[in-house]
Structure 1
Amino acid sequence: MKISCPLRASFALALTVFSVSIWAQPKISDNVVRIGVLTDMSGQFSHESGKGSVAAVQMAVEDFGGKVLGVPVEVISADHLNKPDVALAKTREWYDTQKVDMITNLINSAIALGVVNVAKERNRIAIVNGSGTSRLTNDSCTPNSVHYAYDTFALANGTARALLEKGDDTWFFLTADYAFGQALESDTTAILKARNGRVVGNVKYPVETSDHSSFLLRAQDSKAKVVAIAGSGSSFVNAVKSAHEFGIGGKQTVAGLLVWLTDVHSLGLETAQGMLLTDAFYWDRDEKTRAWSKRFFERMKRMPHMGDAGDYSSTMHYLNAVQAAGTDEAGAVMAKMKSMPINDFFATNGRIREDGRMVHDMYVYEVKKPSESKYAWDYYKLRATIPADIAFRPLSESACPLVKK
């Protein structure tokens, strides 16, 4: 039987419409976009990540509407126990069997460095907000990872410059003996040498140590103008408390090279007052930061720090990229994330470079004296704003193979 011309034309049109419809449908794997928060829930970094990071990611998903391209967005979480083998096993399980599309937070630099490589192998996405090592966008960069909130280069660039300008040109490092501490000391040392500063000594302490007495005695004996603590977590808080008890801070300046808002809260203003620090976010910076932070406080009963704000902002940016790409396929989403600017309470005109570094303004703050604090969590006063184009390592100095030179 022959098909008449009108019928043949109608059939061809229907087939074309059907083909276009199939092609235009969003390509979401497993009909769900799944986000995994891999973090420290129980260890010494839990106050800088943990439940707060999960809450921030969940807030972003809820504010986005709970769905993207018509499918639900699911958030799961796990405690990596600060053990790289545990973290990598969970990462592979999430990517391979639970079909997680993006893993975030990743506090603990050794863990972050491992996870971004698995993301590259599995063609999934990793967004780092908790860890700081600048290697993540330097020699260890990948096309599948983003370093969002801060890094050791930016911390060193801000705090070291501010102290050098005060004449504090001799330094002794008290460094946590793991990837983050080593990167922070290395990046700070480079800044010092470039500006005629001098390192007069250093000592590495075990990351889990609670007694810094012998290390601080060496720092005191060095006569350095600055005793720089290159570490994080509860061990950092203990080191600052011990330095205060030893009387360091009179003739010597105690510098925290990574200071979280929760650290200052734990230390109290009596101990932390006068400390200079570099940060990506402060809850009381402006109306937008205050509005979001008050919502976070309602959930967590504490004010957020830059890790929390970065987890929210980067999750929202990721979901916007999935929406724009029409798929959760990693390559397409990463391309959209790098092409779309970031404008929210966390960053203005932020952007993700080819090395995966999200560049934005950084801020140098001084911790207030108790007499200067007017209300709860009123801890910082702004000393300087570091523009995005100079806050982070310039691409001209990058060892990232993704950077064209």
Structure 2
Amino acid sequence: MVGNGFMGRAHTLGLTVASLLAPDLPPVQLLSISGRDSNKARRSADQYRYREAFTDWRAQIDSAGLTAVDVVLPTELHHPAALAAIRAGHAVLCEKPLAVTAADAYEMWQTAAAADVVHMCGFNFRFAPAVRLAHDLVASGEIGQILAFDGSFLESLGLPEYDADSAAVWPPPPQDGALLGLGPHILDLALWLAGEPTVVQAQSKKLNPSSAARDDFFGGTLQFRSGAQGTIRGSRVAGGVTSECSFTVTGTRGALRWESPRLNELWHITPGHRSTLIEVTRPTDPFMSMWWPEPGHPISWTETFIHQAAHFLRAVAGMTTVRESAADFEDGYRCALVIDAMAAAARSGQPTPLAWPAAGLATP
């Protein structure tokens, strides 16, 4: 585990619980965890039952006995750490966003593909059962041809009242800002559900001048290759909303809506304005076979990391491929392309086209 912060805890929990609940998984050994502060790294190793603690992730990646590396460092370190792990021959799970720039993400994808190692990007919302059900319904044609995708990710942790005095309780927003920090989550869902955008327009703002983030609000529109239209926004200064990721995908025969605070629910709206609330808790629903034998028992955001870890472990063991239900580094790169285009559109105030690569190894 390369990193011992918030995501280090979430990923460790996922790996540990997945290995307990999924009997088909190979045994998991937690060999090492790293952090910049030696005392905190040692405490993390003791608390989470890792054998060793490191302060130098380069030495950690070069240590003996590794099969897989999980990168949960700050975004600017994803690129060097993942490349080091790939070049050492390890499978890699890297948190989103894959990299700060699309150029770095492209290098990570190409290097992993050429090395033929398992590579996965941590878009954990793909592992919410209701989100997976929405994807399956879209893919099956249940709501017809996609006409629109509307998504948002709203938080309030960038508001001034969360600065300084509240930092001990709520950490300040990362320097990534809203576009790079929140944007990849909702843009990955847009790509997954509606396909590739060909043109984007965007704006971004810094509304809290005391924040360390480069921006704390963004909004934009997407024109998809299919002809569908999209709107997207993200904010760290959305007062009254602690954290909410949501989307509506609309087709010629209906629409689907999901909101993260009601993670187990999916709304299915038909053209006659008849709305059906699907409670996605049945054992036959996506991922729910790991949990309870009776429907109606909800799961939480935490369990998305358990589902993600189980899929990664199966891919490492050769039992499945990453792309069967997850995002690999190519997906991370494609998301980074849209982020870069939206950033460029926000700077110029002009529509920005995207040039998509062909599948497989390609020139950006």
Calculate the TM-score normalised by the size of structure 2: 0.44
Instruction: Tell me which of the two structures has the higher relative contact order, counting C-alpha pairs closer than 8 angstroms and 6 or more residues apart.
Output: 2
**Bigger fraction of residues in helix:** 1
User: Based on CA coordinates, which of the two structures has the bigger radius of gyration?
Assistant: 1
Calculate the TM-score normalised by the size of structure 1: 0.40
